[in-house]
Amino acid sequence: MFSSLYPITFVLSLAALSGWFYFRDDEQRSDFLRKLFLGSFTAFGVSWLMAEGQWAYKFPMLLREMLVLGALPVLLSVFRKNKWAYLVALLGVLTGLRAFYFEKLKSSFPQATVAEQKTAATSTPTDLDPNGELLIEIREGAQLADIQSVLGKYGLVALPAFKPNDATATDLDDYFVVDVPAVQDFAKVKKELAELAAVEWLEENEQMTLSPMELEQMKTTPVANKKYGINDPGLGNLWGFDAMKMDELYTILKDKKPAKRALIAILDTGVDANHEDLKANFTSTKSGYDSDRAGHGTHCAGIAAAVSNNGVGVASFSQTNDYVQVTSVKVLSDGGSGTQQSIINGMLEAADRGADVLSLSLGGLSSDSRQRAYQKALDYANKKGCIVVVAAGNANRNAKDFVPANVDGVITVSAVDTLLGRASFSNMVPDVKMGIAAPGVKIYSTMPGSVYATMNGTSMATPYVAGLLGLMKSLKPDLNTKEAYDILNETGAETKNTRETGRLIQPGAAVRGL
């Protein structure tokens, strides 16, 4: 009952408050509307208080409604001097709320008993986005209205899932995300939607969470850099430079000039754009992506494209910094979680931004037999000239069972340790088509606030490969994924477990291979 009252009392409170705001100089009407607002708002508060749900969920819902309740009357005040204009505007706002917001209000809280909720909730996988569990592709020529029979039956809302700039290059614009409240039988809803003639494909919108990683802050001790010819004090902590023979690369680059400055996009938790060892190589995609409370994205950015030879921090794949620049596309929350939908939209955004390399240090177990939307996003990125690099995963399992590591056309990166064996946590890559290895243990790199720390993970190995590919694209802009992987594989070094890890990248040899 309280769940049903929630949307009704909210809309009534909004209408009464708007009227009270308009008629505040009319004592009789103002008094009536004030009482109506106080009564309906009290009922709204009671319905919110008594509705089923955890407080961690209920408080954000209340904040959402308070923002609307506070903003719309102020917005309508623009029309207060003209009675009819105000009434038309109010009617328009209420109609808009009814069309676009009322269903969200109705689904804020389950409409069933606690027992029914517990029974139904067990049918919904817990690793799906709770605000949009399903991704549906509509057949060419079909319309959203063609699946309304099932949506309406269960009170579901479908919204466009993906936003490619170039709709002619993909059919991802035919995808919709559907929120299935826990009160519904998830398996039944999924089955009925999949059986509709208008539905081309249906898959689950899975959540991704970064694996916990060891974090250790370290002080940089200046070391002699004659081997590399650069003055970054943190070089003594970069054991991977020796393993990858970075001095050979630096020697080779002295005789080469870039054809372009390639762009590496870090799809992650954001990047600290003002970091002392990144800002000279950083270009912004969107201001909201230029900070990083988690630190994961900033760490990856430093591995791929830290500013070399600037007297601070660490270094990357060139001494002169003329070859690559780095940008951020935030696809994971500050807590390190994201969804299939958020990651794919990030891939599209980075490709539309003109990125040459997409670096994805993320992933999770694949519950579907295949992820068609990921494949379409990869194809879109390839059409735009991007090479996509993905972490193999940190579960000590086969990467073929993880997504997007198992998507056909990505370069999948495993991690090796300081002894050049497969890192104990690293997934194996013998059953993915393009597996390669890079250092992934005790990796020293940038962290938010112009500090530095070590991390472990295939997350750290991935931007090493992305940074090298960015360098290669700067020298040969038309380099495609297959050509790039063949070079990395043919020029790579053996590890202690090459079949499990793939070959270890050797940057100098790879550049010669161009």
Known catalytic residues? Answer: 268, 296, 459
* Beta carbons of 120 and 112 less than 8 angstroms apart: yes
Three-state DSSP string of 356-378: CEEEECCCEECCCCCCHHHHHHH
Q: Residue 467 and residue 291: Cα distance in Å, rounded?
A: 20
Q: Rounded to 5 degrees, what are φ and ψ at 108?
A: -60, -40
In this structure, are strands 215-217 and 451-455 parallel, antiparallel, or unpaired? antiparallel
For 111-259, where are the alpha helices, taking DSSP H only? Answer: 114-121, 148-154, 186-194, 239-243, 246-253
Tell me how far apart the terminal alpha carbons of the chain are, to the nearest angstrom.
69
User: Would you state the structure tokens that stand for residue 450, as one six-digit string?
Assistant: 């112009």
d(CA 361, CA 463): 8
HSE, CB side, 13 Å, CA atoms: give it for residue 85. 8
> Do 466 and 325 form a contact (C-beta atoms < 8 A)?
no
Q: How many Cβ atoms from other residues are within 10 Å of residue 448's Cβ?
A: 20
Residue 233 CB-half CA count within 13 A: 11
Q: Please, how many CA atoms are within 13 Å of residue 320, restricted to the half-sphere of its CB?
A: 14
Q: Which residue has the tokens 């054991």?
A: 239
- State both tokens at 69: 């309740």
Cα separation of 498 and 238, whole Å?
22
H or E, element range at 137: strand 134-138
CB distance 107 to 155 below 8 Å: yes
Looking up tokens 């003002």 gives: 274
Taking alpha carbons only, the member of 404, 269, 279 closest to residue 330 is 269
Tokens of 230: 């650069």
CB 487 within 8 A of CB 436: no
